[in-house]
Structure formats: structure tokens, C-alpha cells
A and B are shown apart, each in its own frame.
Chain A
Amino acid sequence: MPSYSFVLNGKPVTVDAPADMPLLWVLRDLLHVTGPKYGCGVGVCRACTSHLDGAEIQPCVVPVADCRGREVTTIEGLADGDTLHPVQQAWIDHDVAQCGFCQPGQIMAAVALLKRTSSPTDADIDRIENVCRCGTYCRIREAIKSVGPAS
């Protein structure tokens, strides 16, 4: 079985896995990093949303082979020690979560959006595809807007 090395949340890791094994199962089943959630396996619910070299990806449809030598960031790698990322803090301040299952993905999608544009419009926020079955969308919108250009 081939071996793949990449940087996960700032630390180098190496896994033995088939080349086509989705990053999601590499993270969850081999590395026991369970923040990214399975919700569909086909990239449409986006509960697993994480970052590859700082850009948003859905690990359920990204083969591990594509991650070789690159930087993978999951929800677990977002905070700086005990200091939460401003988006995580905004999620707490707005009490966004209900069941919480989609929220790691929602937060990673919001962080990626705020990297692309520091003052997202409603239309920008509308383009976030992540499903929240509890329907927390309005608080997600408020939380994203509250972060603003300062971060």
C-alpha cells in the first residue's frame, strides 16, 4: 500500500492508504481526527468541509493522493491553542449551533469565505452550500457578518 505524507493541523503525518481513499476516511478512521463529519460522501452536504493549503475542500471527495506534501487543516487545527479563531468565537457569541453536527464544516466554509473576501455580502453568504438540517442559517449569517474585516 502506498504511503502519503502531508501536514495535518501543523504537524507532519504519514499514512499507508490506497491512493483513491478519500481524505475524510483517512482523517476519521486512520488518524482519528473526527471533527470533519460524514454527511453524504459525495460532496453535496459539506459537513466534512476542511482546508487544503488554506482553500476549502470536501474531504469526502478528495483522494488522499491529492494531499501529498500539502497542508490539511480541519476544525481541530483552527484555534491557536486555547484561543479560538474569531469565527469560532463568533459562532459561540451568536449561539449558532443546535445539534452541532454540520458546524465544523460551516465554520471551515465561513473561514474560507472570509479569506476570499473580508466583508462578505448577503449574496456571498448565500453561496455557502453547507446544509444545516437544524436550520441555523440566520445565526450563521449574523456570525459571519460580525467577524468582519478586523480578522
Chain B
Amino acid sequence: MARPLSRRKFMVYSLAASTLTVAAPLGCDASSAEGAEPSGAGTGGPSDVLVTGTDEEMLVLEVTAANRVVVRLPRVEVGQGITTAVAMMIAEELDARLADVDIPLAEARKEGNQYTGGSNSVSSLYDPARALAATARAKLVTAAARRWHLAPRLLRTRDTMVVAPDGRTATFGSLTAAAAAIHRPAVPAEPKPASRHRVIGRPTTRVDARDIVTGKAAYAGDLTVAGAKPTVVARPPTLGGKLVSVDSRAARAMPGVRAVVRAAGGVAVVADTFHHAFRARDVLRITWAPGPLAALSDDAVRARLRAAVPSLGTPLLGTRQVTGEFEFAFVSHAPMEVLTAVADVRADRAEIWFSSQTPTDARDTIASAVGLPGSKVRVHVMRGGGSFGRRLNYDAAVEAALVSKAAGRPVKLMWSRNDDIRHGRMRPASHHRIRASHAGGRVVAFTHVTASVSEVFEESGFAVRGGRSGAVRAASREGRTPEAGPLPSDSGLYNFGRVKGESGSVELAMPLGAWRSVDSGTMRTAEEIVVDEIAASLGEDAVAFRRKTLRNKAVRAVLDKVASAGHWGRALPHGRAQGVAVHEEYGSCVACLVEIDATDPDEPRVTHVVMAADVGTAVNPRGLEAQLMGTAVDGISTVLRAGLHIDRGAVREGSFADFHYARQRHAPLRFEAHIMPSTGAPGGAGELGVPAAAGAVANAYARATGTRPRRFPLTF
């Protein structure tokens, strides 16, 4: 995209330390850091403030004597590759070897922006991370110049060392103590121009790849915290069901059982192993009262959603209409790593280890749940085994803390897969009506009215279990950069004349949550299906029609890219077809072209996917390609097979045996991603591809089968 790079300078601070330690504030609006008073005001450029207090609200970089560059990252790694992208930014500006850069995840800070979501991590970190490393480099060069009595401008940096013209070298680690004392670097501390980038923009393998393939990468469940015993929870058969009574005598008498305690959502069993915990859980004799939705099944949810959709209104006189009515089922996040939290709650303090996109909110909620001040609760952020929005909520962590408190011992609490799918959060079901009015061969009005399920808390008791999806949804929108594209349907991707949208909701006591791409995953998917149907109604080609009605030339460029790379319009045998769709959000845009084999309409296979994305500067094209690949599989899954049914107040599905997320045999045989060259500021990418992929799959299926897909997933 053509957004210019920010010219804003990021204030960088030095922290008092025996090794070089610098810090920068984070967040789009951050102009100064907590506890830091700029000194030497008016000197311009990065300041040399000695921060003696807290490092809150800061990205902190330390160069250790052992020649490691350590940046404690106030974000979570859940597979999206943010640790690799930040390591690349740091390596670039420091001229450090990527292998010498460590990016541990920061524990929950007292304040500041520690939110991972809204696809904004790279865009929010790009300027401060580079400014931080550039300042550190300038100080290291200055320290070397003093040691060698050479003019600083003669010195170069490479491979985590400073190099003199005569070939002498000094590692950053050997200079760190001296550099810590440098207040005013003698060389510029500005980040490099993009033309000199050698790391940023180079396809790079994940920094944790070796740990992953050797089994060393540690998730919350792999931790050994002294005394923390495996813990599972017996949960009600219906959503929000209430415990009436429990007879735990048999469970307590079983070998290996350490404690049985009531938990917010049911009854927790603490045991020596998860095997013992599950066994004891299964012999608990519990009487449950049905949850508030016990009378409700899918048909009723769908009928209520249909009734809650606002009116489309009257179409403009003299226009012809293309209309579509769409339904999307609930979808589980189902990250491979089920929710897991280690909690050690004592009388005067608590410590929790888990993977969280919102650790500061989690810390505050946990503190109030266990009756401690926030300052006495430490939250250690672990890498997550996938998230897709699920770890915005911290259900399991609050539960683990309460169980630890009740049992009077540390616990390692894990949700079973069944817990995850039957009681976890879901993308809300939604219903859409879309009407495009055309006259004289052009669309003059476009209206999209919708209703989705929204979560109520009063009777469900879910709130205490951590995180309100409504707030999270708002936060993920607020997390957007000011430059981000319009909300879907707000102003329109296309020149469709008068664009209108309105939404209603059906409030239910169900655990909901933001799912990768949030509302766009349904809204924009439905719209891209209608765009194809408008083109057909006007007798035009789906790509040609989009080309001439898209507002933004960057979107046209990605569409052109997939059309040419994917050989749009090539002849295919009966039952096979192509489909395309585009999407613009997070300051980025994407197009997707798929080929589907729907010879058997009940067993469709997407055989080929071509995506093109313009995300501004792509820090790690290899990681970006991986994100696009993931969103392609999300699109395939949610359109073709993966959804949840509600049967009498309960989720019918309970594992990957019946929640049909794509497996290898459903994934494309060929995938290619094209990254558009750009020197613009980085936009968001993690969620970007979902609506385009889903729309393209639906459009290909429609073309291959001669049907009009209306209810998703199609095979359900």
C-alpha cells in the first residue's frame, strides 16, 4: 500500500544498568515513557535519559556481556512469527547476527500496551524497535571509538561486532559496559533507510524453528513448576449449567488424587498425573442444573437471528436487484494447544504462567478473583500453541488461580479438548442480507444488514472466567492503526454508489470470542459472494467487474497478480472451477484465487490457492507467506466443513473428530503467495487473508456446482 513511512521520531531512553540497556515507549500515541523525564530537552534526536524507575510501557533492549542481544517483548508469540519479525528488526539496525538476538516474552507489565491483536504487532513495533536498536548501535560504536582512540565515523558494524578500518574487532558484548556509560552517541542514531536493509525484507526462517522440530519449544503444559500438579475440571453437560451437588468420595479415594475443589465452572480434580486426574474426574457424582439455553437448538438460534436482521429498506426506484441471504454457524477457535495455565496462589502473592494476548487485563482480573492487589500477581506470558483470538480471553488462567487458592497448592490446569470445544469460546453465528441495486450496468446502491449472536453475562457466569468478548471485540478494533482501512462495509471497497449497513443482535449466554479477522470473516465473505453474483447478473467476468469497480489501485494490483499468476479463466473440466475474492483491512490488502474440485459436491477439494498481498513493507516475506497460507486453510475450513451445532443448550461437537477443521487431504496441493513490493509502512497481515480466502472458496464452489452457497459451512 502507498502509505508513507512515519517521520515521527521515537524517543529512546537509557536505563541505568551495568550493561547497555535502552528502552522505547510503545503504542501509536506514546510520546514519553512512564517514569522517564526527558533531559537535555531541545537537543533533538534520541535523548539520553537515565531512567532509574520502572520499565513500564517500554520495549527494552539489553546487550549482555556474553554478546547476546535481548529484547523482552510485550507481545505473545502464538505462531504468527512476531518474535522472528522483531528479531529481524533488531538485527537489522544493530548489525547483529540474527542468531545472537533473543526475544523472550515480557511478563505482564503494570501498565502500557501489551495487547496482541488486531493484526497490529508489526506495525506498532516497527518504528520503536528500529529506533531502539539504532540507538544501541550508536552507543556501541561510540564506546569502541573511545577504546581505540579512532574517529567514530571510521567504524563499521557487522555480525554483532564493531570493526575498525585496520581490521580490529570488538564484540558488542565486550563493549556493553562501556556503552552503558555513553550518554551522547558520536554517530547518528537514526534507523537505516529501506534501501540499506539487508535483513528486513529477506525471507527468513523462524528463529524458534530448531526448538520446535526437536521438541524443545516449551508451552505452558510443558513447564515444571515446583509442586504444580495436573488438574482437570468436570464441566456441565450444557453451556452455563450449574452445579447442584457433588459427591466426591469415590474420586478422593482414588490413587494419586491430591484435592477435589469446586471451581467456577464445575469441580476440579488435582492429581499426580493427568491420567489420575481424568480418572477421578470421571467418577465424580455430580448433579447439574441445566444451563440457561437448555431449550435452545440451532433451528431456534437461526430463526432468532433471521428475525433480528434489520430491514433492507426499499430499493431505489428504477433499479434491478441482486440479493443474497447468508448464514454462518458458530466456529471454535480450537487452537492445537488447549487452554493450560500453571497457577501458584499463596496468601500474599500469586504467580501464573500461561499464554495470553491480554496479560495485563488477565493479571487485574486474576488479582480481583483471588483477592490480592494487582501488584502481588505476576503473570508470565508463555508461547501459545495457536490462538486465532482464543487467548484474548483468559478463562483457564482465572480458573487455575481460583483452584490453586481453593486447593491451597500450585496447579497445572488444563482444559480437555472436549472442554475446549464444548465450553470454549466461539465465533458468533450470524445472518446476513445483502442487496445490490444496479441500473444502466452499474451498481448504484449496496446494503448489507446483519445480525449476530452477542454474549450476555448476567446468568451465564462466564464473565468471572475471564474476558468479555464484547470488550475484546472493541479492543481489537481500537487496536487498529489510524491508517487502517475502513471497517468492512463502512465505506466500501467498491464504487457501489450508496453503501449502507446496519446490524442487530441476539443476546445469548454463550461463551463467544473474536475469531481471526473478527466480523470481516463473515461480513466480507458474504459480500464477495454477492460481488460475483452482481457480475454474473451484469453479464461480466468476476475479475473484470472487480477491476473496474474497486476504489483502490493497490487492491486492483493484488487482484491482477492472482489473476495472472493463477491463470484466471483457464479451461477446467466439468465439476472444477476457479473463484476469486479480495479484502482490504489493517492498512493492507489481499486477493485470493482458488481452484476447487467439486466433482463430488459433498466432498469438495480446493486443489490450488494463489494469494497476493500488499502489506506495505513486509518484514519477513517467508512469515507473511505462512500467515496467508494459514488464512487460506481457515477459509477452506469455515466455508466447507468446520462449524459447531447447538443441541438443546450444548455444543454437539467435542473434538477434531467432529469439528471438521481441514486436514492434509483438504488442504490445497499447491499454494503460492505473491508479496507486492513496497517501501510503505508495514500494515497488518495475521488476519488479513481470511475473508478473501473464504470468499474465493465459496465463489469457486458456486461456479463448479452451479449452486448459490448460502449457509456455511456447506457440508455440516
Seen from chain A, the residues whose Cβ lies within 8 Å of a Cβ on chain B are 1, 17-18, 21-22, 25, 28-30, 32, 34-42, 44-45, 47, 74-76, 78-79, 84, 88, 91-93, 95, 97-104, 107, 122, 125-141
Q: Which of A35, A75, A122, A133 contacts B386 (CB 8 A)?
A: A133
Choose among B212, B214, B385, B416 the residue that contacts A79 (Cβ–Cβ < 8 A).
B214
Q: Indicate if the CB atoms of A131 and B656 lie closer than 8 Å.
A: yes
When chains A and B are docked, how far (Å) is the Cα of A107 from the Cα of B217?
A: 14
Q: In the complex the two chains form, is B668's CB within 8 Å of A134's CB? A: no
Decide: A128 and B417 in contact? CB cutoff 8 A.
no
The complex places the Cα of A129 from the Cα of B274 at a distance, in Å, of 25
Asked whether A125 and B273 contact (CB < 8 A) given A92-B213, A99-B79, A138-B671, the answer is: no
Is the Cβ of A133 less than 8 Å from the Cβ of B664?
no
Q: Report the Cα distance A128→B666, complex, angstroms.
A: 11
Query: What's the least CB distance linking A99 to chain B, in Å?
Result: 3
Q: Is B656 touching A100 in the complex (CB atoms < 8 A)?
A: no
Residues of A within 8 A of B273 (CB): 21, 25, 29-30
**Chain A proximity mask over B652-691: 1 for CB below 8 Å, otherwise 0:** 0001110001111101111100000000000000000000
Partner of B79, one of A39, A74, A134, A138: A134
The minimal Cβ–Cβ distance linking A116 to chain B, given in whole angstroms, is 16
Asked if residues B213 and A99 are in contact (CB atoms below 8 Å), the reply is no
Q: Which chain A positions have C-beta within 8 A of B631?
A: 135
* A75 touching B337, Cβ below 8 Å: no
C-alpha spacing A76/B665, complex, angstroms: 27
Q: A29-B274, A45-B656 are in contact. Are A136 and B629 (CB under 8 A)?
A: yes
Name the contact of A42 in the complex, choosing from B212, B388, B655 (C-beta under 8 A). Answer: B655
Between A and B, 5 residue pairs with Cβ closer than 8 Å are A28-B274, A95-B209, A133-B334, A135-B630, A137-B668
Chain A residues within an 8 Å CB radius of B622: 95
Please state if B384 and A99 are interface contacts (CB–CB under 8 Å): yes
Q: Bound state CA distance, A127 and B665, in angstroms?
A: 7
Residue B292 is within 8 A (CB to CB) of chain A in the complex: no
Cβ A99 vs Cβ B214 within 8 A: no
Cβ-neighbour of A21 out of B275, B637, B662 (below 8 A): B275
- In the bound assembly, the distance between CA atoms of A99 and B81 in angstroms comes to 8
Most buried by A among B217, B274, B336, B633: B336
Chain A residues closer than 8 Å to B224, beta-carbon distance? 32
B667: chain A residues at CB < 8 Å are 135, 137-138, 141
Tell me, yes or no, whether B338 is within 8 Å of chain A by CB: yes
Using a Cβ cutoff of 8 Å, how many contacts connect chains A and B? 189
The distance in angstroms between the C-alpha atoms of A18 and B622, with both chains bound, is: 46
Pair A100/B205 contact, Cβ less than 8 Å: no
Closest to B386 in A: A99
With known contacts A74-B215, A127-B665, A138-B671, A95–B205 Cβ distance under 8 A: yes
- Cβ–Cβ contact B629 & A100, under 8 A: no
Residues of chain B contacted by A98 (CB below 8 angstroms):
79-81, 386, 626, 630
Q: Are A45 and B417 in contact (CB under 8 A)?
A: yes
Q: How far is the CA of A34 from the CA of B278 in the complex (A)?
A: 19
Nearest CB of chain A from residue B78's CB, rounded to whole Å: 6
Cβ proximity bits B608-649 to A, threshold 8 Å, 1 near / 0 not: 000000000000001100100111111001000000000000
- Given A95-B205, A99-B385; A75-B214 close (CB under 8 Å): yes
Interface size on B, residues (CB 8 A): 65
> Does any Cβ of A come within 8 Å of B218's Cβ?
yes
Q: How far is the CB of A82 from the nearest CB of chain B, in Å? A: 10
Q: Assess whether B237 is interfacial by the CB under 8 Å rule.
A: no
A28 to B278, CA, bound (A): 15
Of all A-B residue pairs in the complex, the 3 with the closest CB atoms, nearest first, are A35-B215, A135-B633, A99-B79
Confirm or deny: B272 has a beta carbon within 8 angstroms of a beta carbon on chain A: yes
Measured CA separation A18–B212 after assembly (Å): 31
Given contacts A91-B213, A135-B633, A137-B633, contact A100 B79 (CB under 8 A): yes
Partner of B337 from the list A29, A37, A95 (CB cut-off 8 Å) is A37
CB closest chain-B residue, reference A63: B275
CB distance from B292 to the nearest CB of A (A): 28
B626 contact from A1, A35, A84, A95, Cβ within 8 A = A95
Judged by a CB distance under 8 angstroms, whether B72 is at the interface is no
| A residues less than 8 Å from B79 (CB atoms) | 97-101, 134
Given contacts A28-B274, A29-B274, A47-B336, contact A139 B626 (CB under 8 A): yes
Structural contact, B218 and A34, CB atoms closer than 8 A? yes
Q: Is B230 an interface residue (CB 8 A)?
A: yes
- Give B22 Cβ to nearest chain A Cβ, in Å: 30
Cα–Cα, bound, A128→B662 (Å): 12
Q: Which of the listed residues A38, A40, A79 has the most CB atoms from chain B within 10 Å of its own CB?
A: A40
Which of A39, A84, A130, A141 counts the most chain B CB atoms within 10 A?
A39
Given contacts A131-B661, A134-B630, contact A103 B213 (CB under 8 A): yes
List of B residues within 8 angstroms of A76 by Cβ? 214-215
CB nearest neighbor in A for B655: A40
**Complex contact A135–B213 (CB within 8 A):** no
**For A37, what are the chain B residues with a Cβ–Cβ distance below 8 Å?**
219, 221, 336-337, 385
Question: Considering only CB atoms, which chain B residue lies closest to A42 in the complex?
Answer: B655
A38→B657 CA distance, assembly (Å):
15
Complexed CA–CA distance, A122 and B664 (Å): 10
Distance in angstroms between the alpha carbons of A141 and B662 in the assembled complex:
14
Is residue B192 contacting chain A, with contact meaning CB distance below 8 A?
Answer: no
**In the complex, chain A residues whose CB is within 8 Å of the CB of B278:** 41
A133 touches which one: B81, B218, B661, B669 (CB < 8 A)? B661
User: Given A91-B212, A139-B626, 16 more contacts at CB 8 Å?
Assistant: A28-B274, A29-B230, A38-B221, A38-B274, A40-B656, A45-B417, A75-B215, A92-B210, A92-B213, A95-B205, A99-B79, A99-B387, A101-B337, A131-B336, A131-B661, A134-B626
Distance between Cα atoms of A128 and B650 in the complex (Å) = 31
Q: Which residues of B contact A36 (CB under 8 A)?
A: 215
Q: Given A88-B213, A100-B212, A104-B215, are A41 and B417 also a contact pair (CB < 8 Å)?
A: yes
